[in-house]
Structure 1
Amino acid sequence: MKPVDPVALRKSRMYLLLIALVFAAPMIIAGLLSFTGWQPGVKGNGHAILPQRNFVDEKLQVKLDNGQTWPWRDSEPRLTLVALAGPDCAAHCFDTLTGIAKARVMLNRNQARLRLLYVGTPPADAGRRVAMQTYWSLGRDVDGKLATYAPATPDSVSAVLVESNGTALSLYPAGFDGPGLLRDLQKVIK
């Protein structure tokens, strides 16, 4: 048996440690970042609703134009995006609502997993109201329990994303980012 060269042995051990470090470094860095509280991609564009509210437990009633009450718990697991209009919903408000409807369409095959509910006075223009009814269910908040989420600014819209069990997840205040809303929807609707 040939004697082992201590220099070659040290060199091969060093290569083995370097290879192990190359594979372990990303996990170590990710662990350190997670430990310090930084996590990539977990922040949504909406504001978390805290403390959480469950509209079913609160018996929050939205009366639809057809006289029925909005079912927060659906027969299928579908989320609801509630649009709340500020005073005097007009052109800007309608454009925002159209953008939300487009975001729903962009969910492609998953668009059926999102229901759109408009709460408030629809635009006065009859043509806009008819156009809205294509994508939106129109209703009013019977007891005013959603008033805290409605914007005070005229011709504006805020939105609340509600889980299929009636739990309010996030608020998108007036002036929210439409593409950001779509990214959030794509994350939660799969």
Structure 2
Amino acid sequence: MTDPNVSTKNLRSSRLKLILIMLVFLAPIIAAGLLTLSGWQPEGKGNGRPIVPQRSVTDVRVDVDGKPWVWRDSEPRLTLIALPGPGCADHCLQTLALMRNARIVLNANADRLRLLYLGTPPTAPGADGVMPSWKLGSDAADAFGEFRPTEPDTVSAVLIESNGTALSYYPAGFDPSGLRKDMQKVIR
């Protein structure tokens, strides 16, 4: 039943306002649905390459000091894996030092990133100043082999989320400052 004091014009105006308000809230949802159905995905400004399809590494056995590496730590912490090419020497060691420094720049959040080196440790001069920051591990199944560089004296990196999901890959020759920027975005 309608109120005789409310005119038809006011009623239409109120309904139109209600519909417009609903459209304001529904328009972004509809636009997002259409973009998703068309296959469009937003491009982030990350410096690493996304690992597609995403994969979990929780089943990958990596040994550190004779014990299996725990991907899902007691606290949510990411793992940065360094994968050296054959003969990790001066250039590789410099990149490892810059990766370690990127962790240091995280300041209070530095403990939220674990550094894991998978391979033969470098023996170049200065290695004993860089390598104590890294946990040395071995991957007998070579589960990260597709990400390991083949060029001598190079290193690549893989960033693993605290739940064991491989997030991004940094191929040999990557910019360590770009890695630092990515880590500052992810680790807060």
Give the TM-score category using the shorter length. 0.7 to 0.9
2:100–2:133 Cα contact (<8 Å) kept: yes
Structure 1: which amino acid aligns with 2:183?
L
Looking at structure 2, the residues matched to 99 and 162 of structure 1 have their Cα atoms a distance apart, in angstroms, of 18
Instruction: Summarize the Cα distance change of 1:119–1:38 in structure 2 as closer, same or farther, 3 Å threshold.
Output: closer
Structure 1: segments with no counterpart, 5+ residues: 1-30
RMSD across aligned positions (CA): 2.4
2:93–2:124 Cα contact (<8 Å) kept: no
Structure 1: which amino acid aligns with 2:51?
I
> TM-score scaled by structure 2?
0.76
Structure 2: which amino acid aligns with 1:167?
T
Please state how far the C-alpha of 1:187 moved relative to its aligned partner: 0.5
**2:46 alignment partner in structure 1:** 44
Looking at structure 2, the residues matched to 38 and 170 of structure 1 have their Cα atoms a distance apart, in angstroms, of 16
**1:185 alignment partner in structure 2:** 183
**1:123 alignment partner in structure 2:** 122
Structure 2: segments with no counterpart, 5+ residues: 1-30
Looking at structure 2, the residues matched to 182 and 123 of structure 1 have their Cα atoms a distance apart, in angstroms, of 22
Please state how far the C-alpha of 1:61 moved relative to its aligned partner: 1.2
Looking at structure 2, the residues matched to 44 and 127 of structure 1 have their Cα atoms a distance apart, in angstroms, of 30
Structure 2: which amino acid aligns with 1:48?
P
Aligned length: 156
Q: Identical aligned pairs, as a percentage?
A: 53
After superposing on structure 2, the runs of 4+ consecutive aligned residues of structure 1 that deviate more than 2 Å are: 124-127, 130-134
Matches within 5 A, 1:32-181: 42-56=44-58, 59-64=59-64, 66-125=65-124, 128=127, 130-181=128-179
Please state how far the C-alpha of 1:124 moved relative to its aligned partner: 2.4
Please state how far the C-alpha of 1:172 moved relative to its aligned partner: 0.4
Structure 1: which amino acid aligns with 2:90?
A
> TM-score scaled by structure 1?
0.75
